[in-house]
A and B are shown apart, each in its own frame.
Chain A
Amino acid sequence: MRRGPLDLVRARPETPFEFSFDGEPVTALPGQTVAAALWQAGHLAWRRTRLGDRPRGAFCGMGACYDCLVELDGTPNVRACLAPVRPGALVRTQRGDGHGELR
């Protein structure tokens, strides 16, 4: 098997769990942020921009750029790179400012 980050630091994570990303089940490791879990599953984008409807995901990885905003359990504008993911979480691609249903 290909050597990855988990092997490198000899991680033996607690039991993986599932959460939902746009209705699809995604496996996460306990302790990962929403962004890390999505990267691990091969997803790089979880927001569509307000003006150009372009895909975006994590960029600065440290909470400074706000590019990774996502809808988490019904709350929009959550920074995916900071928010821990929990079992059964409902993660949805954020569209625009995340308040589309109010218009």
Chain B
Amino acid sequence: MANSADAVDGHDLGDRHERYDLAVVGAGPAGLAAAAAAAEHGVRVALLDSAPWPGGQFYRQPAAELRASRPQALHHHWPAFQRLLARLDVARERVTLLADHHVWSVTGGSGAFAVRALTGPDQRQARQLTARQVLFATGAHERQLPFPGWTLPGVVGAGGAQAMLKAGLVLPGRHVVVAGSGPLLLAVASCLVTAGATVPLVAEAADYLGYARGARVLAANPGKLVEGAQHGATLLRHGVRLRPRTAVVAAHGTDRVEAVTLGRLDAAWRPVPGSEWRVPCDAVAVGHGLVPQLELPLELGCRTRRLPDGSAALVVDAAQRTSVPGVWAAGESTGVGGVQLAVTEGELAGLAVAGQTAAPRELLRRRARQRAFAELMAARHAPGGGWTQWLDDATEVCRCEEVTARQVRDAVSELGAPDQRTVKLLTRAGMGWCQARMCGPAVARLCGAHDDGAPTRPLSTPVPLGLLAECDTPAPPSEGAPDDHP
């Protein structure tokens, strides 16, 4: 191993820390592919993930004690996952899988990075390693847009319902309305009905006809059509109706959700007056697309760009290098594009880290094709500005701090708050436990932005104060804005 990893942040670390050529943060499809490709070419890799097993959100599996003999029944692209695991197994002498490691800080530069993680029960045990290069495959979380009643128990994230089903083999209810926007909704609805729930309908705020305008991109990605058709066939078989240009405009109930009001939307996502109807249900699975998780790369100063749906994603070059030397990224962190693009990018990044400069042409072509589809998808499901019209004064926008739409609007119109950050200081919206992961995009849009706003957060996971005090590095930079919004 190179000696350059001995000094991190100007301190000689001696033998206190493990050293690797590459730290891959995130063991989802992108991280697995990157770790495999790099290790196959001699790179010593540490692969870290907060979950107890590899796979990320996409390949979440039931715990071993549940002894599922057909976990693939809840998954698409399962053989690809098995192939990745098999490759890692072959390269196991060069890959250290650190599961159950919540990475909360990556600092350093120029060939020596310090990666700090929390592990053990309740994540109270600190672990630090050093690596010459870092690769972020940190994935994404759901974009949420609030509506009256969305804080009622039984209203859950669409991805959340799927995660709980894949890992815990449980459903939030028997009659689950699926709503929001984006292709994930079809996957979630198809998972739910296959697992025994009834789905009265899937309400998609955008118009699927919009995809027709991207006919060439679609034709270049036949796999996406097949996947869409498979979900469609499952939904059809279970009598699930897909309603485009429709949204849940309110959820009803006292201590749990009992019904929703659905409404037709116009092209700008404004509810059409008089179009509302009520559907009884005991759960709602809702999400409006995915947004990259960028806390750690932003802490290192990696540049971002805006995608057509308003999300911020890492800028990477042809070799998946970020703007910071020694820092690479693959998968949803460079722009949400789904599992196949994530694997392609991970593969290319792993090869590049290993110094394999001549990437296979087929991989490069595949990435271009899959990225074109991702851009089309982002544009088709970009939240329309009209969604704010379904909020009432009492709708809680910030779930953690219980800040209402009225409070946010007052901060903007009465107190003149120009942006998300000022609204946060005035109302505490985004200041709670989740650090604006849930309300950030909504608050930014309520401030008049046409995008998800600033994605930076000081820490990627809550850290005991004692650990921060032990840290011998300067505090990471706090609030900042993406590069296109200085």
Q: Are A and B genuine complex partners?
A: yes
Min CB distance, A85 to chain B, in Å? 10
Considering the complex, give the chain B residue whose CB is closest to the CB of A29.
Answer: B66
* Interchain CB contact (< 8 A) of B71 among A7, A9, A61, A69: A9
Interface residue tally of chain A, by bracket? 35 or more
In the complex with contacts A30-B66, A31-B62, A52-B402, A63-B50 CB distance below 8 A: yes
Taking CB atoms, residues of chain B closer than 8 Å to A45 are 153, 255-256
Interface residue tally of chain B, by bracket? 35 or more
Interface string of B430-456 (1 = CB under 8 A from A): 001110011000000000000000000
In the complex, whether B168 has a CB less than 8 A from a CB of chain A is: yes
Interchain CA distance A81-B154 in the complex, whole Å: 14
Cβ-defined contact, B163 with A62, below 8 A: yes
Considering the complex, give the chain A residue whose CB is closest to the CB of B287.
Answer: A60
Cβ-defined contact, B159 with A78, below 8 A: no
Cβ-defined contact, B65 with A66, below 8 A: no
In the complex with contacts A56-B153, A60-B142, A11-B68 CB distance below 8 A: yes
**Which of the candidate stretches B169-177, B224-232, B416-424 sits at the interface with the other chain?**
B169-177
Chain A stretch 22-46: residues in CB contact (< 8 A) with chain B: 29-33, 35-37, 39-40, 44-45
Cβ-defined contact, B69 with A61, below 8 A: no
* Interchain CB contact (< 8 A) of A59 among B62, B122, B160, B173: B160
Taking CB atoms, residues of chain B closer than 8 Å to A103 are none
Interchain CA distance A31-B399 in the complex, whole Å: 29
Cβ-defined contact, B153 with A36, below 8 A: no
Considering the complex, give the chain A residue whose CB is closest to the CB of B257.
Answer: A44
Q: Please indicate which of the listed interface residues B168, B170, B433 has the most CB atoms of chain A within 10 Å of its own CB.
A: B168
Min CB distance, B137 to chain A, in Å? 15
Taking CB atoms, residues of chain A closer than 8 Å to B159 are 60-62
Taking CB atoms, residues of chain B closer than 8 Å to A66 are 400, 432-434
Residues of A contacting B: mostly = loop
Cβ-defined contact, B168 with A60, below 8 A: no
Taking CB atoms, residues of chain A closer than 8 Å to B168 are 31-33, 35-37, 39-40
In the complex, whether B219 has a CB less than 8 A from a CB of chain A is: no
Cβ-defined contact, B195 with A4, below 8 A: yes
Cβ-defined contact, A10 with B65, below 8 A: no
In the complex with contacts A5-B169, A9-B73, A58-B65 CB distance below 8 A: no
In the complex, whether B196 has a CB less than 8 A from a CB of chain A is: yes
Cβ-defined contact, A36 with B402, below 8 A: no
* Interchain CB contact (< 8 A) of B65 among A3, A30, A59, A83: A30
Cβ-defined contact, A59 with B164, below 8 A: no
* Selected A-B contacts with CB under 8 Å, 18 pairs: A6-B66, A9-B68, A9-B74, A14-B66, A29-B65, A31-B62, A37-B168, A51-B401, A51-B402, A54-B402, A60-B141, A60-B157, A61-B157, A64-B434, A65-B160, A65-B438, A66-B434, A75-B122
Partner-A contacts on B (CB < 8 A): 50, 57, 62-71, 73-74, 122, 141-142, 151-157, 159-165, 167-173, 194-196, 255-256, 283, 399-402, 432-434, 437-438
Partner-B contacts on A (CB < 8 A): 2-14, 29-33, 35-37, 39-40, 44-45, 49-52, 54-67, 69, 75, 78, 81, 83-84
Q: 4 closest pairs, A vs B, by CB? A: A36-B168, A31-B63, A61-B160, A31-B65
